[in-house]
Amino acid sequence: MSEEPVLIRSTWGTSRYVYNHRNPVGLALIVLTPLIALGVLFGMRAESTWSEGELRDAVGKGVQDLDGKQHYTSLEGNHGSLIAEAIRESGIGPGLGVDTREEEGGGYTVSTEDTEAEYCVHVTLTLDDQPPVVFPGAADRPAPGPDMLAFYVSRATFSEGSCR
């Protein structure tokens, strides 16, 4: 083993410690530190982007979880947030960065910026006959209008490709 220390004071006008290239351990650290840093950066990048397989699996699991689930929502409006939330809660992929576009045919095209894959998700909401809270002696409530909040049960399906 070398008598040189692993860390020495910098000779470039600062009093910082730097790796000593004359010590074998210091030389190994000089070589390994940037390689480890690059590995960590590539790993972080891989964890924050979608792959096509991850998107396919996340959409499939999200639609499966969304099917038969109760929601407090209205019939009007964009229900793409229900799909995006189900995909995020699937635990597959980064979770963020999912784009849901409502199409004219009533479906939602699901995609990401990271992949070319697109999936068509159809969600239908039916009024839940058994709301979770019923007040004793309350009169029967009238059926909610399309813009009124109520409990609905969702049915969801998906297929490959956009909904156009």
Look up residue 48 and give its DSSP letter: T
Question: Using an 8 Å Cβ cutoff, are 51 and 59 in contact?
Answer: no
Residue 87 buriedness (CB in 10 A; 0-12 / 13-18 / 19+): buried
Number of H helices, E strands in the chain: 3, 7
With 0.75 as the threshold, say if the pTM is over it.
Answer: no
Q: At CB < 8 A and 24+ separation, what contacts does 20-23 make?
A: none
Spatial distance between the Cα atoms of 9 and 128, rounded to a whole number of angstroms = 73
- Measured N-to-C along each axis, helices 52-66 and 80-89 cross at an angle, to the nearest 10 degrees, of 110
- What is the helix (H) or strand (E) element at residue 77, kind and residue range? none
Q: Residue 38 has what pLDDT? A: 93
CA–CA separation, 126 and 146 (whole Å): 11
Place of tokens 């220390």: 5
CA dist 52 and 48 (Å) reads 13
In the block, tokens 């199409």 appear at: 103
Q: What is the pLDDT along the chain (164 residues), one digit of tens a residue?
A: 568 899 898 888 788 999 999 999 999 999 999 999 999 998 887 778 888 888 999 999 999 999 888 888 888 878 888 899 999 998 888 878 889 998 887 889 999 988 899 999 999 888 887 765 656 666 666 667 777 788 888 899 999 988 87
